[in-house]
Amino acid sequence: MKVYDFDGAVYRGNSTWEFYWFCLRRHPRILTCLPRQIWVLLCCWFGARTQAAFWQEFYAYFQFVPDVDHLASRFWDARRLRKLNSAYLAVRREGDLIISSSPECLLKPISRTLGIGFVGSAVDSQTGACHWLGCCATEKLRRFRQQFPKEKIEVYWSTRISDHPVAREAEERRIVRGSRVADWDDIVAREGYWRNWLSHFISPEFFRFWCVGWLNMAAAWILEASWSLIFSPNLAFAVGYVMSLLFSFALNSKITFRTAMTAYRLGKYVLSYVPNFLVQTLTVLFFHNLLHWPYLLAYFLAAIVGTPVTFFCLKFFAFHKQAA
């Protein structure tokens, strides 16, 4: 069986979000769901809720759309049919299967048009309640095996390297880039390493680290200002800095990396800021002392450069996270 991801591989776009805007233009009442959706999204980035919880909340807007199935049929008009990938249309055959995280009610009309099967997220078109979500590759693979236990994946197309759990089950796998189809293993070998490192910065963990950084900066300012009422400015700065460092250690332990606080980790935490100090010092020396850029701009650049350095030192040194 030939299996294809839908968004990006068969359809040159993201049908889930396009359908959301399509419904929003016709039923603005959907916006009443937005505050709750934003709140759950923030909870996901802080790690308090799962990715599945966000999609459960996202599809709640279906309850404000009188006839989702009818709108889904109207959604697939001639303009969107022209966005079907010509690379797929050239090899399409009866018996193909779409497996996607998009809701089944949205995939049904287009799969009927193409004459192929589909497996999508099982979302109630009246209430938005989710019975199954294909929001990760392992779930897609599990659902495929559940519905087609005796079938083998001959070919798999996708645009996402993160779909590797499904792709490795296929005899032949391809990465889709626009209308170009490339060998999966070649793309993974060329792009996978850098995409993996980039994923550290596009993650809830880095978001939590960034938020903790702002809290720590505010705490340091308040502590230093408070101690300056008692001690000399230099001593107040030193005491405030040490206290803010302890505050930062507690927040990063409990919120960012979720590990136990120990004296050993605290020592490694303090050492993790040495590379940050060196990088920021060299950045200021280069941009301010050598290039004579304004010192505020130089300090701002130093902070930007130092942030990822500190994040990696904390993640892979102080808090014992394994680098992928």
CA distance 130 to 257: 30
- The whole-model pTM stands at 0.76
Q: pLDDT tens digits for 195-245? A: 776 777 777 888 888 888 888 778 877 876 787 788 776 677 677 778 888
**Mean predicted confidence (pLDDT) in 117-126:** 92
Query: For residues 2 and 130, what is the distance between their CA atoms, to the nearest angstrom?
Result: 27
pLDDT at 321: 52
Token output for 305: 């450069």
What pLDDT, on a 0 to 100 scale, did the predictor assign at position 57?
93
Q: How many CB atoms lie within 10 A of CB 308?
A: 16
Q: What is the mean pLDDT of the chain?
A: 86
Among the ranges given (44-48, 100-104, 118-122, 296-300), the one the predictor scored with the smallest mean pLDDT:
296-300
State how beta strands 130-132 and 117-123 pair. antiparallel
Residue whose entry in the numeric block shows the structure tokens 């920021």: 280
Residue 316 β-bridge partners: none
Q: Are 206 and 200 in contact (CB under 8 A)?
A: yes
Closest CA to 106 of 65, 137, 140: 65
- Between CA 224 and CA 227 the distance in angstroms is 5
Residue entry with tokens 């930062």:
248
Span 246-281, pLDDT tens digits: 888 998 888 888 888 888 888 888 888 788 778 877
Instruction: Report the alpha-carbon distance of residue 170 to residue 151 in Å, rounded.
Output: 11
Secondary structure string (H, E, C) spanning the chain:
CEEECCECCCECCCHHHHHHHHHHHHCHHHHHHHHHHHHHHHHHHCCCCCHHHHHHHHHHHHHHCCCHHHHHHHHCCHHHHCCECHHHHCCCCCCCEEEEEEEHHHHHHHHHHHCCEEEEEEECCCCCCEEECCCCHHHHHHHHHHHCCCCCCCEEEECCHHHHHHHCCCCEEEEEECCEEEEHHHHHHHHHHHHHHHHCCCCHHHHHHHHHHHHHHHHHHHHHHHHCCCCCHHHHHHHHHHHHHHHHHHHHHHHHCCCCCCHHHHHHHHHHHHHHHHHHHHHHHHHHHHCCCCHHHHHHHHHHHHHHHHHHHHHHHHCCCCCC
For 120, residues 6+ apart whose C-beta sits below 8 A from its C-beta are 6, 98, 99, 100, 101, 102, 103, 104, 106, 107, 134
Unique residue bearing structure tokens 């994923």: 199
Per-residue pLDDT tens over the stretch 146-189: 999 989 999 999 998 888 889 999 999 999 988 889 888 888 88
pLDDT (tens digit per residue) in 9-26: 999 999 999 999 999 999
